[in-house]
């Protein structure tokens, strides 16, 4: 174990058993520590593997530029790919990837928007891909990087840019968390696919479903460890709190058979915002499967939303 993390936290723990703390510490490492590979997809999505790699090959070969934030600060470096539209365009989509993914895992969405005439900016979030960071922050710190990416797009494409924010899973929650910030007027709309309502609620759900563990004392201890390591408690990481401040049109997408981020969270997020909104539940789709379940229906639904709100 990393002594710099554990020792300062062990000293004040008088009312909690060492066993509970060590369990929480290992869960924190399991959930929050970066991995430098993309974990295997679920069994129900293995059937899409060939199509997925076709999209990845396309993305590797399409003309692109590499953009970097904090290039002179190795511990804070964040990397993205900018893929211009085939014809000069003022439309740009900024795409946020999922938990333990990277920008390459969003290739299918990049191609979808490319075919719609969008430029695409696709970052690796902190703790993922080529970006720095030892730990995953579940979108809370990433949202501030995306505000800088938005400004970078405006500086490159022009003040008359029209920007769409799009994300899936953790990326969907990241878009929802950005929604409560002071966003430049060039951002016109948001699309969040299967984002969680809060990381505390998601962690508590997974503790029960995957590990058969109670919320207390594990979640408060994980939150305490996260505050020590990343500087914020898990209570702050809330899509619903941020969506309550949102003023932009937003499309929520969620699989009806999602057992990783339960579909009830989509309804929570939908109810949280008073802005113009749409909700599409893809009845038979599991987590992050809505595109793969029916790519044409997915594209049509996105285009219908954009025709209404992205003018």
Both 115 and 225 in a single domain? no
Residue 90 included in any domain: yes
User: What is the predicted pLDDT for the residue at 43?
Assistant: 79
Scored b (16 or more CB within 10 A) or e, 256-295 reads ebbebbbbebbebbbebbebebbebbbeebbbbbbbbbee
Locate tokens 């992050």: which residue? 288
Does residue 203 belong to any structural domain of this protein? Answer: no
Res 217: pLDDT: 84
Residues 266 and 301 in one domain: yes
* Same domain for 271 and 154: yes
Domain count, the chain: 2
Say how far apart CA 27 and CA 207 lie, in whole Å: 9
Same domain flag for 112 and 27: no
Together in a domain, 230 and 247:
no
Whole-angstrom distance, CA of residue 147 vs CA of residue 131: 16
Half-sphere exposure of 267 (CA within 13 A, CB side): 5
Asked if residue 112 and residue 8 are part of one domain, the reply reads no
pLDDT at 1: 44
Sheet order of strands, 187-193 included: 65-69, 78-83, 119-123, 91-96, 162-168, 187-193, 250-255, 277-282
In a domain, 183, yes or no: yes
DSSP codes of every residue in 87-107: S--SEEEEEE--TT--GGGGH
10 lies in which domain range? 1-33+215-236
What is residue 6's predicted lDDT score, i.e. its pLDDT?
56
117-169 pLDDT tens trace: 999 999 999 999 999 999 999 999 999 999 999 999 999 999 999 999 999 99
Please give the model's pTM, rounded to 2 decimal places: 0.93
50 and 176 share one domain: yes
Contact 21, 13 (CB under 8 A): yes
- Beta-strand pair 119-123/78-83: antiparallel
In a domain? residue 210: no
User: What is the predicted pLDDT for the residue at 22?
Assistant: 86
Q: Are residues 11 and 127 in the same domain?
A: no
Spans of the chain below 70 pLDDT: 1-16
Same domain membership, residue 45 and residue 12: no
Domain harbouring 190, CATH code: 3.40.50.1820
pLDDT given for residue 8 in this prediction: 55
Going by C-alpha positions, the residue among 266, 260, 202 that lies closest to residue 234 is 202
Q: Residue 4 has what pLDDT?
A: 55
Looking at the fold, whether 241 and 173 belong to one and the same domain comes out as: yes
5 and 93 in a single domain? The answer is: no
Beta-carbon neighbour count of residue 68 at 10 Å? 14
Question: Which pLDDT belongs to residue 216?
Answer: 81
Compute the chain's Rg from CA coordinates: 19
């Amino acid at each position: 174990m990393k002594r710099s993390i554990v020792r300062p936290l062990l000293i004040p723990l008088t009312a909690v058993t060492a066993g509970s703390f060590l369990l929480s510490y290992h869960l924190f490492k399991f959930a929050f520590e970066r991995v430098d590979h993309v974990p295997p997809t679920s069994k129900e999505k293995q059937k899409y593997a060939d199509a997925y790699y076709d999209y990845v090959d396309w993305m590797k070969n399409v003309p692109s530029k590499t953009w970097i934030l904090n290039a002179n600060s190795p511990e804070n470096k964040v990397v993205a790919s900018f893929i211009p539209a085939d014809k000069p365009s003022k439309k740009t989509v900024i795409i946020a990837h999922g938990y333990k993914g990277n920008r390459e895992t969003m290739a299918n969405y990049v191609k979808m928007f490319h075919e719609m005439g969008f430029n695409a900016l696709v970052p690796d979030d902190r703790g993922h891909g080529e970006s720095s960071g030892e730990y995953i922050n579940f979108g809370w710190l990433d949202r501030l990087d995306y505000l800088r990416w938005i400004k970078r797009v405006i500086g490159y494409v022009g003040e008359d840019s029209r920007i769409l924010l799009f994300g899936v899973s953790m990326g969907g929650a990241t878009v929802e968390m950005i929604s409560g910030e002071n966003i430049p007027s060039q951002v016109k709309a948001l699309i969040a696919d299967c984002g969680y309502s809060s990381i505390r609620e998601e962690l508590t759900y997974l503790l029960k479903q995957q590990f058969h563990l109670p919320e207390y004392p594990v979640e408060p201890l994980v939150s305490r460890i996260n505050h020590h390591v990343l500087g914020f408690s898990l209570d702050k990481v809330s899509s619903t709190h941020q969506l309550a401040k949102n003023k932009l049109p937003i499309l929520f997408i969620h699989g009806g058979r999602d057992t990783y981020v339960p579909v009830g969270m989509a309804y929570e997020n939908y109810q949280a915002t008073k802005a113009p909104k749409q909700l599409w539940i893809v009845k038979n789709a599991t987590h992050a499967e809505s595109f793969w379940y029916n790519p044409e229906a997915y594209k049509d639904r996105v285009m219908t939303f954009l025709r209404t709100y992205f003018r």
